[in-house]
Structure 1
């Protein structure tokens, strides 16, 4: 069973225990968590949160099964340097509908990795686990994340006012969607080829 996907010098792998230190370090940074409703977190809190999810992934992989938990580490393939992480989180009561998420370390910003991560999630969702819909969200002020989703084909759906309270500031939540039928078959084949 496939556990790693490569595009150029970027690899996406199911998240394992060895990845937690890099993810915890990234999510302890105020810059990375600026527009997120969670974080920055103490590194040990992030490890406690992710550990059961990672154990579930590792158990599935031992049985040669696709994990129910879709969390991926993003690294430079040539050096192993951490770029960030991305995930598909199932939306309750709606099998085949997933919330996308991606966090890129601030040392790796403005290199196109966010768009690459989003495109990978589109590939994985529609080519590997046969999802029918992806839902994306971001804080209204997070223009970088908004642009990433639009570049990957997502459509704006609505704005939920004063949705998140981060610190002492409220953020509106912008919702986006991508349906499998929105993506041309040729694009799905191209993504299947790109993420080899």
Structure 2
């Protein structure tokens, strides 16, 4: 089973223990977590969440199986500089439907990495996992994430009122979706040609 995918000077790889320090550092930042339903996190909280995921991914890859969870680290290919992370998580009871997620470290904002991550997840879901649908969400007010998903072809699907409570304040959840009917085979071929 393949573990890394390159696109220009970006490399997406399944998360490993070696990535945890960078992930924990990113998710300890208030501005990175502003629109997330969790965080900022203490390092031990991030490790407690990610370690079982990483162990499960590692065991699957060792057995040459496709992991159940797809959590990727994003780095610059040439320098190895940490950019962020992205993930496809299966949605229960709907085999072939995945929830996307991406967090970009604040040192890497406004460089197009969020859009690149969303594009990679679209490629991976439809070309590697044979998904029939990918689902995205964000807190109302997260204009950057909303624009990123729409640019990638996601369609707005609704709004759930008072979905998340954080720091004593309620936040609405905006829903987005992208199905196999929404993306052409020509677009998928272009995406497949970008990732080696």
Assess same fold via TM > 0.5. yes
Structure 1 segments unaligned to the other structure (5+ residues):
none
| Comparing 159-168 and 21-30, the one that deviates more | 159-168
TM-score, with structure 1 as normaliser:
0.98
Q: Deviations over 1:142-187 (max 9, x none)?
A: 0000000001000000011111111122111100000012100011
**Secondary structure at the counterpart of residue 191 of structure 2:** helix
**Secondary structure at the counterpart of residue 58 of structure 1:** helix
Query: Aligned partners of 1:195 and 1:108: how far apart in 2?
Result: 21
Structure 2 segments unaligned to the other structure (5+ residues):
none
1:74: how far off? 0.3
**Secondary structure at the counterpart of residue 35 of structure 2:** coil
Which consecutive segments of 4 or more residues in structure 1 shift more than 6 A?
Answer: none
1:158 aligns with 2:158: yes
Query: Where does residue 146 of structure 1 map in the other structure?
Result: 146
Q: Deviations over 1:112-133 (max 9, x none)?
A: 0000000000000000010100
Query: Where does residue 12 of structure 2 map in the other structure?
Result: 12
Query: Aligned partners of 2:52 and 2:163: how far apart in 1?
Result: 28
Query: Where does residue 58 of structure 1 map in the other structure?
Result: 58
1:44: how far off? 1.4
How many residue pairs align between the two structures? 196
CA RMSD of aligned residues (A): 0.7
